[in-house]
Amino acid sequence: MNFTPGLTPTWRANGAFALAPAQDQRVLANSLDVLDVGLEIWDEDDCLLLHNRAVNRLLYGFYTPAMLGQPFEVVLRAQIACGLFPAALGCEAKWLTQRLAARGDSRSSQLMQLAGGRWVRLHESRNSESGLVTGWVDMTEQMHASQASRVQHPLQMPPSSTEH
């Protein structure tokens, strides 16, 4: 788990995000790092506050300490430049505009393909502090199983009415 320098976030009893002692930071960091779900927390200015190990694994080690505190658009542009999103190749500006427009729409999740054939389901939700929590779920195995199933069981066409 990596935190923005100078900030030690934790949850208050009322569910709000606040600063915490170093011991609480270790407990929170260790707890979030054991999740299989990738997690990013963005502050009210849409700057990266923290991320866990799972999201960095999903994104092929993209996050470095220098990314903490960076605005979402800066991070997204760097991800596009690294080729993390194959759908953006050749239409980077359009893809960026669409992704920014969809940012924080908690009514739906997005299925996205990453470089290397990895698939993720991305879900973003606003928190009570006007920040954003992003969850990344690895869907690669499910997508590959679904594709294999379609290859093994292609749609069978009904016999033509002209055949007897």
Return d(Cα 1, Cα 65) in angstroms, integer. Answer: 10
For position 115, what pLDDT does the model report? 96
CA distances from 1 to 50, 63, 121, 132, 157 (A): 7, 11, 21, 17, 52
Domains of the chain: 37-150 (3.30.450.20)
Q: How far apart are the first and last CA of the chain?
A: 67
Return d(Cα 54, Cα 138) in angstroms, integer. Answer: 9
CB 89 within 8 A of CB 108: no
For position 25, what pLDDT does the model report? 73
**What integer is the mean pLDDT of 131-140?**
95
Q: pLDDT class for 130, splitting at 50, 70, 90?
A: confident
pTM of the model: 0.75
117 has a pLDDT exceeding 60: yes
pLDDT tens, position by position, 13-72 = 555 555 556 667 778 778 888 888 999 999 999 999 999 999 999 999 999 999 999 999
Residue count of the chain:
164
